[in-house]
Amino acid sequence: MVPSDISPTARALRTLEILRTHPGTTADQLAGRLGVTERAARRYVGILREAGIRVESSRGPYGGYRLHRGTRLPPVVFTQAEALGLVMAVLDGQPSATEAGHPVGAALGKVIEALPEDVGRQAAVLREHAKAAPDRNSAGPEPAITSALVTAVATRHRVRIAYRGEAGNTWKSEVDPWAVVVRHGRWYLLCHCHRADAIRTYRVDRVRAVSQTAHAFAPPEDLDPVAMLEEKLGTGWKFPTHVVFDAPPAEVAPWIPAPMGRLHPSADGCVLLGSTSNPAMYAQEWLAAVPFDFRVEGGAELRAAVAAVAARFAAALVR
């Protein structure tokens, strides 16, 4: 589903791009690509016409919308703030974009070259001299895979994916792709998996292949992709976790990322229930960083991982 907070202007520009690359697109097809109703799609065509862009329409089996032959598209104009913001966003998401030969860097260079001299000069200086440290937790997916998934989200078509899990196991399944969400440098697919008959979150960088099926789907009407992703990241993994904290939930909550599970109040503090695919990481990176006393009361694998961390720290104090 296309995010609901996209502005009418942005959707009108997307409409223009669709008609440029797919002449003869019908109102129904346009609505599917935009993720809106057919009535809304016609409204965006009207916005283009009001802006002076000649959009022709015809009926019949070969009918649809198309741009008038010879139509000159308006140039894309950036303000200095927009240009600098674009460079900053690219460097933040792709630190290696400053390297020669990097595809994102090459694309950014073309954009900078097309900018007016005064704006482009500032953007070029920023790109040349700003340095970005790579995020060790980020994982960039393949653009073609990401594009296929985003297209399926927008057109609401079920896809068949090939996936490689963290442990190296591979499998295939048909999924209804509800949304693609970027979170802390990682791209996730939020979907309904027919193989598991459940809501699942999959790392896009671990998707090996995508093929569209003929089946359409309708996502939940009240879907909040970011909130649902946060809720699902800590559930459905192989190893269960059960941790008790001797502190109130309000104090513990800021230290608990969503993938750790969900906090529940208790008489003496709070309880964290969740699951993980990597108990060692859960113990070393997450639990060790929480500044409150805790007890691991469930999850044999997590208990063993915590014991290993404790033994390592205790050994560091032996003279």
- The per-residue pLDDT for range 260-276, each reduced to its tens digit, is 988 999 988 999 999 98
Question: Model confidence over 95-145: pLDDT tens digits?
Answer: 777 766 777 778 888 878 877 777 778 888 877 777 767 666 666 788 889
pLDDT of residue 1: 42
Phi/psi for 25 (5° steps) reads: -65, 130
CA dihedral 280, 283, 286, 290 (to 10 degrees): -170
Q: Pick the residue with more confidence: 52 or 140?
A: 52
Alpha-carbon gap, residue 73 to 82, rounded angstroms: 20
| Mean pLDDT across 233-248 | 88
294 contacts: CB under 8 Å, gap ≥ 6: 243, 244, 245, 246, 287
Both tokens assigned to 317: 């104090």
* Percent residues over pLDDT 90 in the chain: 40
Average confidence (pLDDT) over 299-315: 94
pLDDT band with cut points at 50, 70 and 90 for residue 3: very low
Give the largest CA-CA distance in the chain.
87
Q: Region 1-24: what's the mean pLDDT? A: 73
Report the pLDDT value the prediction gives residue 269, as an integer from 0 to 100.
93
Pick the range with the lowest mean pLDDT from 132-136, 170-174, 183-187. Answer: 132-136
The stretch 254-260 carries a mean pLDDT of 89
Q: Considering the chain, what is the average pLDDT of its residues? A: 85
pLDDT band at 80 (very low <50, low <70, confident <90, very high): confident
pTM: 0.59
Place 76 in a pLDDT band, splitting at 50, 70 and 90: low
